[in-house]
């Protein structure tokens, strides 16, 4: 995985109202306190400016983490690594969704083992006390970053955020860099092997039983939200992976990711708008919610949108890791 040089000083102009607050601790170290899961470009720029620029510093840092990823049938043949090298936030690291996964599973993007996750964090150079801000591509807007943020969260990383979003970062004049990456000269990460919070994850056997019990008397009334396009959900459009039929699980509700995003910026809609959207689809915030999609990537966008809208309790929201594949 690629490791990058530290950020150049930012010359960004303030453009977005920030919710960001920082706390400076005694002795010169500091601990940033990004208040919301979604982070604006201005908040991230302000936070990065407070990083301690020292090769030997062990102070907590804010780390931009690029989660760029494209569907396998992308018409332009783009890859996350390629667009990361073309344009990125200075000091960003790259998280490869196609590499950090369960290697014994035949399905793409299944959660990695705790040991593989910890190794990936060490290879990327992320420490346990770093505040990680995951971001997407300029081209797609919010897409795969929520999945990477969710992965860090279910493995217990204490501070994880999503940039809303990289397209706005670029449009608002914040700095970027490009080209091949150079190794970071810093103290190596000693990221410990974490525990997986299985209460946030639905696996195939459980999902199969939930689908079988749909509409049966006495069932718990799970609501399955499908992030794929309406055509894929309805079975009228093909899946991007050869040999896989389209359609949907019994009783699932179509919530295409495109409906959750601003059509111009690709940013996640404000919480009030998301709440109205979920209500218009008949989704009951008092019942358990499971987010699903093709391989578990954009399901995390739905899960993030539910959180931003305050729709349902965090304990009642889960993600189906295998999803339609």
Residues 6+ apart with CB under 8 A from 91: 4, 5, 6, 7, 48, 51, 63, 64
Task: Spell out the residues 6+ positions from residue 87 whose beta carbon is closer than 8 angstroms to its own.
Answer: 138, 170, 176, 177, 178
* Helix residue ranges per DSSP H, the chain: 41-49, 80-86, 114-124, 145-154, 166-171, 204-212, 230-234, 271-280, 299-309
Q: Catalytic residue among 118, 132, 293, 305, which?
A: 293
What whole-number distance in Å separates Cα of residue 223 and Cα of residue 244? 24
**Residue whose entry in the numeric block shows the structure tokens 């399955």:** 224
Q: Is 293 an annotated catalytic residue?
A: yes
Check: CB of residue 145 under 8 Å from CB of residue 46.
Answer: no
Tell me which residue of 308, 44, 32, 68 sits closest to 163, measured CA to CA.
44
Q: In 3D, which of 160, 179, 177 has the Cα closest to residue 63?
A: 160
The Cα 300–Cα 148 span in angstroms is: 9
Contacts of 262 (CB under 8 A, 6+ apart): 141, 268, 269
Please choose, from the candidates 6, 11, 39, the residue with its C-alpha nearest in 3D space to the C-alpha of residue 175. 11
In eight-state DSSP terms, residue 136 is: -
Contact (Cβ atoms closer than 8 angstroms) between residue 48 and residue 58: no
Could you list the active site residues?
Answer: 293
């Amino acid at each position: 995985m690629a490791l990058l040089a530290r950020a150049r000083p930012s010359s960004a102009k303030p453009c977005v109202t920030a919710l960001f607050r920082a706390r400076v601790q005694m002795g010169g170290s500091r601990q940033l306190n990004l208040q919301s899961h979604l982070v604006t470009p201005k908040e991230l720029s302000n936070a990065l400016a407070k990083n301690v620029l020292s090769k030997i510093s062990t102070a907590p840092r804010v780390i931009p983490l690029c989660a760029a990823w494209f569907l396998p049938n992308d018409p332009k043949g783009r890859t996350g690594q390629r667009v990361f090298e073309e344009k990125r936030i200075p000091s960003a690291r790259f998280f490869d969704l196609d590499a950090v996964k369960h290697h014994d599973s035949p399905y793409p993007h299944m959660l990695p083992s705790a040991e593989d996750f910890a190794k990936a964090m060490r290879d990327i150079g992320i420490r346990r006390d770093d505040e990680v801000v995951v971001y997407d591509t300029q081209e797609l807007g919010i897409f795969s970053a929520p999945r990477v943020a969710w992965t860090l969260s279910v493995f217990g990383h204490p501070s994880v955020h999503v940039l809303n979003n990289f397209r706005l970062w670029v449009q608002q004049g914040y700095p970027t860099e490009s080209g091949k990456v150079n190794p970071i000269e810093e103290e190596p990460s000693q990221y410990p092997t974490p525990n997986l919070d299985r209460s946030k994850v639905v696996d195939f056997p459980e999902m199969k039983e939930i689908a079988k019990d749909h509409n049966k008397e006495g069932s718990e009334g799970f609501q399955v939200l499908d992030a794929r396009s309406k055509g894929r959900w309805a079975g009228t459009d093909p899946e991007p992976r050869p040999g896989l039929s389209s359609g949907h699980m019994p009783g699932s509700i179509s919530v295409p990711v495109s409906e959750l995003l601003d059509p111009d910026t690709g940013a996640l809609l404000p919480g009030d708008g998301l709440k109205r959207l979920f209500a218009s689809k008949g989704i009951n915030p008092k019942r358990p919610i499971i987010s699903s999609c093709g391989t578990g990537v954009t399901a995390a966008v739905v899960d993030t949108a539910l959180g931003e809208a305050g729709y349902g309790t965090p304990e009642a929201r889960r993600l189906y890791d295998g999803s339609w594949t």
